[in-house]
Amino acid sequence: MIKTKAELRADIEALELERRSFMEEVRHGTGEFNEEEAKSKLADFDKRRADLEKAFAEIDKPEGGKEGITLTNRDFVEAAKEMRAITIGGNGKINQVQQLFEGIGEKDDILNAVTFDYSDNASTNIPVLEPGLEEPVDTAEGGSSINEDDEAEMKTTEIQVYGLASVLGVTAEALQLNTVDIQSKLPELFRKAFRKKLHTKVLQGSLISNTQKGVKGIWTSAAANTAGITQLAANQTSIKCSDLAGLALKVSGYDETFEIVMNPATYQNVLSDSTSGEDVKLYKEGLIRSKEIEGVKVRLDAKAPKATTAGSILAVAVPLSRFHVGVAGGITITPIKVKGDSKTYFQAEAFVGGKQVSDTDLFSLAVKTSG
């Protein structure tokens, strides 16, 4: 039985949830398996996802069983003359999107931990019950005076995508004389450029001015949740081990898995904490050995902000799986010719947006504000 696109998309999402659940078991040591079994199961997840994505892409293939068109440099030259676009990365829109963002996800990279929502739409709605149901009340047999929950509220958070674009100029000699293999090089060059941009945005991006479009980064959301900010002591511009332990303990009781994200330079200052005591020594040993403190993982990322001015956030505790990135459409590369210019300009475009499900998800450490 041939499945529809909606059914295949549901299968992919279900498989991703299964994979995340398995990774949680591996991380917390609750499953009964050895390292080789874990590697084998992860490889099986990858194969199953690849098969589902291939089936998804097959739906959009033209009739006749064609595998697609092999593009040469001459095709790019002719396309530029005709002012038309060439789409790279497969025949179907979703296949293009996934190929683009598979290039982004690297081992231990923060983009591998957030959640991606693939859609052809300009926005994605995520229902949120916040802050959660109250505890049930004790009820006697036959009781009828049960009050309505007045704490929880059903909300909707919306991810609205915006455009990312990059332009690369290629000389006529490179195209006409075939000195550059445009067909194989351009997609990878643009993937790397888009990866760098999205990586930075997830950490410190802001929405487009006066709109809700774009990527609202982790640091931006943390700053918005003033109730979750713990300020360091006066005149203290670096985190001490006790500060970091306090942040870890604050989130260790939640049912979501939190990670503490910080810049390597900020982390180095933590290790330089000169406070004496056996607890500081043990905390440092744990950080160096396993990048954990009080059972909470510490994730280092060079793109995380590291400013130490008054009010600056130095570290954020966040459940990364609750950061959603919305992706609409695919990456399209359009060759453009300009009158009087022998170069061909290749413009790549993609549409993304992203935010934390709720700003109240985030807790942080910040340099004390002045005054």
Which of residues 317 and 162 earns the better pLDDT score? 317
Confidence of residue 138 (pLDDT cuts 50, 70, 90): low
> Is residue 157 predicted with pLDDT exceeding 90?
no
- Closest among 221, 194, 196 to 207, alpha carbons compared: 221
Model pLDDT, residue 126: 61
Q: What is the mean pLDDT of residues 225-253?
A: 94
Confidence of residue 312 (pLDDT cuts 50, 70, 90): very high
> Is residue 35 predicted with pLDDT exceeding 80?
no
Percentage of the chain with pLDDT > 90?
29
Which of residues 66 and 331 earns the better pLDDT score? 331
Q: What is the mean pLDDT of residues 322-335?
A: 80
Model pLDDT, residue 143: 64
**Considering the chain, what is the average pLDDT of its residues?**
77
> Is residue 102 predicted with pLDDT exceeding 50?
no
> Is residue 306 predicted with pLDDT exceeding 70?
yes
Q: What is the mean pLDDT of residues 166-171?
A: 82
The per-residue pLDDT for range 105-128, each reduced to its tens digit, is: 344 478 888 887 776 666 666 666
Which of residues 180 and 8 earns the better pLDDT score? 8
Give the span between the Cα atoms of 261 and 266, in whole angstroms.
Answer: 10
Q: Report the 3 state secondary structure along the chain.
A: CCCCHHHHHHHHHHHHHHHHHHHHHHHHCCCCCCHHHHHHHHHHHHHHHHHHHHHHHHHCCCCCCCCCCCCCHHHHHHHHHHCCCEECCCCCHHHHHHHHHHHHCCCCCHHHCCEEEEECCCEEEEEEEECCCCCCCCCCCCCCCCCCCCCCEEEEEEEECEEEEEEEEECHHHHHCCCCCHHHHHHHHHHHHHHHHHHHHHHHCCCCCCCCECECCHHHHHHHCHHHEEECCCCCCCCCHHHHHHHHHHHCCCCCCCEEEECHHHHHHHHCCCCCCHHHHHHHHHHHHHCEECCEEEEECCCCCCCCCCCCEEEEEECHHHEEEEEEEEEEEEEEECCCCCCEEEEEEEEEEEEECCHHHCEEEECCCCC
